[in-house]
A and B are shown apart, each in its own frame.
Chain A
Amino acid sequence: MRSRILLVFLVLLLAGCGANATGNAGSSPKTTLHVWYSTDDPVERAWTPRLVTLFEASHPNIAVQLTAYDFEDINTKLQLALSAGDPPDLAYVTPRGPGIPAYVKAGTLRNLASAARNDGWAKELRPGLLAQYNQPFTFFGATKGQIMAVPMAMAAVGVLYNTKLLHQLHRPVPGTLAEFKADLPPAKRAGMVPLGMGNGDGWLGDDWYQTLVEALIPPSTLTAEQLLKPFDFGRPPFSQAGSLMRAWSKAGYFTQNFGGLDAQEGIDQFFKGHTLFQLVSSSENSQIAVEERQTHLPIGIFGFPTAYGGSVSPMSGYEGWIVPKKSSHPAAAIAFINQVLQPSTAQALLDRGFIPAHRGSFRTGVAWQQQYLDMVTNAHRGVYLDAAPIANLNATMEANVQLLLQGYEGPGFLVHALQEVYSSRGKQHGSTARIDGEF
């Protein structure tokens, strides 16, 4: 008898689960907008309901069901959903391959150009950003002028530094690449870790390599347009950047055992107070903010100094909003995008530590965050090489930079691998390519 009661209980509970999963939409006369949001940042994840609150306040007839997924999950889920013709109404996803390029190539995304024109999206965002963001998609079948995705916040690379340690060395903030390089030996001699690094997950080494290439190559010779043409990784800066990284690794400038530390742990090490410089992406700002408050370590941010004067801040593959063709509520989805492009959303992003993609002079009361904001405005935006819409270019770069830093291969092999993947458009893998379902 008891087992029968248990069985009935289980069935009722299960029925309850099913009802919860599907019941909301039917019981409400409102339009339900299904939104998928990709983030691995718990601060950002916790913040996303704010987007919904802002939108629902001004659109009382629309209920938003926003679900946050990490980057791996959303790649899998969105491919499955688009493939089966059952996608969400709106999604916030990566522009790196396969990501948005694959969805564009498959013809599964709605062209948002008319909405962008009517609602003035280009004027809301930083100058030229909307066009620059969408340019790589032309390689995958989008025509010039089509808008397939819209960014909201940027992932800009900068150098975090320990101001106390820099003062101990009696050095100013480096303004040139030569000054930056000159800071490393005395820092090492003084018992500091000159360069913070956690490369277990591969992407920080990738950021380092691309930043050094940008610092070594004349800006006019590396443009986003070039990524769409036959591209030459054989140019000297590509191997020079690799050589520099290898030399720094060999000299022990990077954090000890950086290969087994992920990027997050690298920042943890920085906040223990022994690291001079730490390359970071603004996508890590929430972690930096938390640890800065915890440790009260005096920190600052500067753009990476180039060999040609000024600084560069490469933009890593930051996410954009897309509307699938099979979205059930495209008008509501566009209304949501309009909302996230409002200055109020930009200020809310900034308050949580993100760098908004919006135009305009926003201010923050946190000194290092203001430095970050100013750096993004003033530094050369650069070209993020692995944003080239070539499947597996990013994964290949990450794998080979890992091996380069560990001394298992030389810079020549790295550029050969990149060229091979680029030239084959990611289709031929050969001996050097690395396949990664994530990007």
Chain B
Amino acid sequence: MASSTVARPALTASSSRLRVAPVASLTFIVPALAVYGLFSIWPAIQVIWLSFQQWTGYGPAAFDGLANFRQLFADPLFHTSVDHSLLWEAGAVLTVIPGLAIALLLLRSRHPLPTLALIFLPSLLPATIVAALAVMIYSPLSGPLNTILNSVGLGQPDWLGDPKMALPALFAAWLWSTIGIVAVVLWAGLRAIGREFLDLAAVEGAGPVATFRYVILPALRRPLAIAVLVEAALGLQVFDLIFVTTGGGPGYATVTIPVDIYGRAFGGQPGQGAAEAAIGLLLGLALVGVAITLLGRSPSLGGFESTDRRATWPATAWSGIIAVLVLLPLLWLVPAGAESTTAFALGESRYSLAALGANFAAAWSGGMAGALLTSLILAAIVVAASLALAFPAAFVLAHAFPRPLAPVILGVLLIGLFQPAMVSLIPLFRLLKDLGLLGTPWGIILPEIARGLSFGIPILWIGLAGMTELLEAGAVDGAGLVRQAWSIALPLARSALAVAAVWAFVISWNEYLLPTIVSQDGSLQTVPTLLATFIGRYNTQYGSLAAGTILALVLPLAAWLLAANVASRRLAARGGAR
């Protein structure tokens, strides 16, 4: 332990900046900002411009002042959608509580990485699949939830059909699909708390509650702020889940800002859609402001990976139980995959290996192999490019950029997180057409990289803060800017790099809308777009959908478990060496 405390300084904020030539720092930051600006900010600017125009979606637009905003504010449906979105956001922020509970249990678990992998698994499901699962599970007459409730005499609630229950029911489905991301962020934060602080607290006689209140919670402010930011950003953009399950109904019970924006943008009033999107952006900016404030005030006690986690069997058992609970909805895929679609729909419970084989064959012959390969290649490029662009930009922003400009850049970057994707579709589509990117993989990759940067740069920026003394020492030893970044900063930012990589992967892996519009002839089929073909307005192919979803999950799960196994061994080896 002593050696580790000497080897790494704490990640405390530093007021000094590296002396770097402006041209050198620009070469680090310009590529990232160019991609981000072109594919994220430019469409956002166009949306704001459109919000002041009278436009049918075709032909020229005419300046119309604030008319779109006036019509919007006079429309009670807009207010309903704002109310629902604010409720959703409040719930999203509160998600950090169960997320923190899971992370704390994982900290004491003997098998944290495999358990975390299982809890994270639903985050790898495209929203359309989460929606299809929600429809199956909430099905009032044949769904597993009501089957259980009915068997214990609690009746058969109409989860998605009752206007009073539909929004909470959908939120629960969303919570299930995102809690893993929160758990990952907070678990990484907990692991970064210096062990000497925990030891000190123990020496001072602090119990678990006092340790949590006075050591863990203050040290976790930054990861908590990040978790809140992520959940708020994801919550403000929920669209596919609602659109596929209820379409905003019953009545108006689940209309949120993104659903309403889509309705207006593609329902004949793109100007009003743009106006609502601009308001959504403002709401996002307010959240960004809160997040920056929280991030700026956060102290850090971290810098050391705690190797003595005092793992306990109760914590291991509880975290395992949670993992099983999180996985339960996915287990529903197994019977669905082992029946013909018709037998499943009719509730006949006629499971057979033949039906299982037929469903997997149908999913496979429907193009699952190609879709998996395409999605993996796209995600790999997006992750690699996002990190390659984000790291140097974050390095310069953290250590060589004029300090007063930093929050401005941070705010601009975070706009991308809160930008409702569907409303920037129109300008983005035109941009991709003008650049000749329609029908090519780059039409998907570049906007996804831009979205990856909107989170990647801020998270790496935070991860790279507080290394100035080390970097200056490196400079004294003759290390240039590239050497300082590559040899000193990069190894110390592994946790932040991992979080940024996870974010970029999830964005790319789950993206549905972008491949749909970029691939004009459907030749660029990704996992979400392929699985969506099994979901129909008149007839959903449950068997193929279940089989395809299982196939889509197996590969990333295997990769994660493999990585988790390697990481566990390394951790164990390091712990043993000490």
Contact of B520 among A81, A262, A431, A435 (CB under 8 A): A81
Q: Considering the complex, which residues of chain B in the window 381-431 have a beta carbon less than 8 Å from any beta carbon of chain A?
A: 381, 425-426, 429-430
A65 and B161 form a contact (CB under 8 A) = no
A392 to chain B, nearest CB (A): 6
A86 and B536 form a contact (CB under 8 A) = no
Contact of B516 among A73, A400, A431, A436 (CB under 8 A): A73
B42 to chain A, nearest CB (A): 16
A124 at the interface (CB under 8 A from B): no
Most chain A C-beta atoms within 10 Å of own C-beta, residue among B58, B248, B440: B58
Q: A83-B426, A202-B250, A406-B161 are in contact. List 20 more A-B contacts (CB 8 A).
A: A14-B377, A17-B524, A21-B441, A34-B520, A73-B516, A82-B58, A83-B430, A88-B520, A200-B135, A200-B161, A201-B537, A202-B247, A259-B161, A286-B539, A291-B345, A392-B267, A398-B249, A403-B163, A426-B268, A437-B266
Q: A22-B439, A268-B346 are in contact. Are A261 and B140 (CB under 8 A)?
A: yes
A399: chain B residues at CB < 8 Å are 248-252
Q: List 16 A-B contacts (CB under 8 A).
A: A14-B377, A21-B519, A22-B440, A70-B537, A71-B537, A77-B516, A200-B250, A202-B249, A264-B538, A269-B141, A403-B163, A406-B163, A406-B251, A434-B77, A435-B263, A437-B263
Report Cα–Cα, A234/B550, bound state, in Å: 52
A395: chain B residues at CB < 8 Å are 263, 267
Report Cα–Cα, A363/B265, bound state, in Å: 44
B260: chain A residues at CB < 8 Å are 435
Q: Considering the complex, which residues of chain B in the window 51-83 have a beta carbon less than 8 Å from any beta carbon of chain A?
A: 56-59, 71, 75-77
Contact of B138 among A71, A260, A433 (CB under 8 A): A260
Range for the number of chain A residues in contact with chain B:
35 or more
B139 at the interface (CB under 8 A from A): yes
B407 to chain A, nearest CB (A): 35
Contact of B441 among A18, A41, A402 (CB under 8 A): A18
A436 to chain B, nearest CB (A): 5
Report the stretch among B98-106, B152-160, B214-222, B460-468 that lies at the interface: B152-160
A75 at the interface (CB under 8 A from B): yes
B555 at the interface (CB under 8 A from A): no
Contact of A260 among B58, B162, B377, B441 (CB under 8 A): B162
B540 at the interface (CB under 8 A from A): yes
A438 at the interface (CB under 8 A from B): yes
Report Cα–Cα, A437/B374, bound state, in Å: 29
Report Cα–Cα, A41/B341, bound state, in Å: 13
Question: Which residue of chain A is the closest to B432 with respect to CB atoms?
Answer: A84
Question: Which residue of chain B is the closest to A402 with respect to CB atoms?
Answer: B250
A41: chain B residues at CB < 8 Å are 536-539
Question: Which residue of chain B is the closest to A80 with respect to CB atoms?
Answer: B429
B522: chain A residues at CB < 8 Å are 67-69
Query: How many residues from B make CB contacts under 8 Å with A?
Result: 78
Q: A264-B539, A264-B540, A408-B163 are in contact. Are A83 and B139 (CB under 8 A)?
A: no
Report the stretch among A102-110, A170-178, A239-247, A339-347 that lies at the interface: A102-110
Q: Which residues of A contact B (CB under 8 A)?
A: 10, 13-14, 17-18, 20-22, 34, 40-43, 45, 65, 67-73, 75-77, 79-84, 86, 88, 97-98, 102, 105-108, 199-202, 256-265, 268-269, 271-272, 283-284, 286-287, 290-291, 294-295, 391-392, 395, 398-400, 402-403, 406, 408, 426-431, 433-438
Q: Which residues of B contact A (CB under 8 A)?
A: 56-59, 71, 75-77, 135, 138-142, 156, 158-163, 243, 246-252, 255, 260, 262-269, 342-343, 345-347, 373-374, 377, 380-381, 425-426, 429-430, 433, 438-442, 513, 516-517, 519-524, 532-541
Q: A41-B539, A408-B163 are in contact. Are A14 and B342 (CB under 8 A)?
A: no
Most chain A C-beta atoms within 10 Å of own C-beta, residue among B138, B374, B520: B520
Report Cα–Cα, A310/B71, bound state, in Å: 46
Q: A294-B346, A398-B249, A436-B267 are in contact. Are A86 and B139 (CB under 8 A)?
A: no
Task: Give the interface SS of chain A, mostly helix, strand, loop or mixed.
Answer: helix
Most chain B C-beta atoms within 10 Å of own C-beta, residue among A71, A260, A391, A395: A260
A86: chain B residues at CB < 8 Å are 433, 438, 520
B163: chain A residues at CB < 8 Å are 403, 406, 408
A106 and B162 form a contact (CB under 8 A) = no
A429 and B75 form a contact (CB under 8 A) = yes
Contact of A436 among B247, B343, B440 (CB under 8 A): B247
B159 to chain A, nearest CB (A): 6
A105: chain B residues at CB < 8 Å are 56
Contact of B538 among A40, A69, A106, A291 (CB under 8 A): A40
B346 and A259 form a contact (CB under 8 A) = no
A432 to chain B, nearest CB (A): 9
A271: chain B residues at CB < 8 Å are 346
Question: Which residue of chain B is the closest to A74 with respect to CB atoms?
Answer: B516
A391 and B77 form a contact (CB under 8 A) = no
Report Cα–Cα, A318/B263, bound state, in Å: 21
Closest CB pairs A-B (n = 3): A259-B161, A260-B161, A40-B537
